[in-house]
Amino acid sequence: MDGKAKAAEAFVREPAVGSTLNVLGITHIYKATGAETAGSFSLWESVVPPGAGTPPHTHAREDEAFYVLSGELMIELEGQSTPHRVAPGGFFFAARGRRHAIRNVADKPARVLVFCAPSCGLDQMFAEMDAATTAGMPEMAKVVAIAAKYGVTIEAPADPPR
């Protein structure tokens, strides 16, 4: 092991405490960031409004795990022919290198606990997206460019027919 690597310090995060970001309309409440865990993982609660979600995307550097606390999500996973509905208490794993997409299909916000390992900068990527959202929803090209810096490939929606 590299003797220069900084070990993470133990910490406690109280309920309703943690940095909060607006990631393209989805609220992220951080329980642990990569900086706090020496890059081992990051953990956040996502509050996904009805109809909101993530476009199809692929992570090159990290795996994600999702535990649905409330609401109902429709999950698309690369290599699976049909989407899955995931209700409270349900779990899904999005392995690096495999495309996935998420959409809240309920009429109330969904709450999802998201675990990312290792933490290779997704929390920084989401901070950049939060900053880009301050003036309204950014253009998809900007979102795609931010994601690419962090090893995430977003499938931009096709241009509408003319």
How confident is the model at residue 160, as a pLDDT?
45
14, part of any domain: no
Reported confidence tier of residue 4, pLDDT bands at 50, 70, 90? low
Q: Is 63 helix (H, G, I), strand (E, B) or coil?
A: strand
Total count of domains within the chain: 1
Segment 97-119 mean pLDDT: 96
- Is 98 within a domain? yes
What's the pLDDT score for residue 5?
55
Identify whether 161 is preceded by a cis peptide bond (ω within 30 of 0): no
Does some domain include residue 2?
Answer: no
In a domain, 96, yes or no: yes
Contact 71, 19 (CB under 8 A): no
Q: What is the CATH number of the domain that holds 148?
A: 2.60.120.10
d(CA 123, CA 114): 12
> Which class for 97: exposed (0-12), middle (13-18), buried (19 or more C-beta within 10 A)?
exposed
pTM of the model: 0.88
In a domain, 8, yes or no: no
pLDDT in tens, 51-93: 999 999 999 999 999 999 999 999 999 999 999 999 999 999 9
In a domain, 12, yes or no: no
Q: What percent of the chain has pLDDT over 70?
A: 92
Print the domain residue range for 76: 20-154
In the predicted model, what is the mean pLDDT of the chain?
90
**At CA 57, angle to CA 149 and CA 143, rounded to 5?**
45
Look at residue 20 in the predicted model and tell me its pLDDT: 94
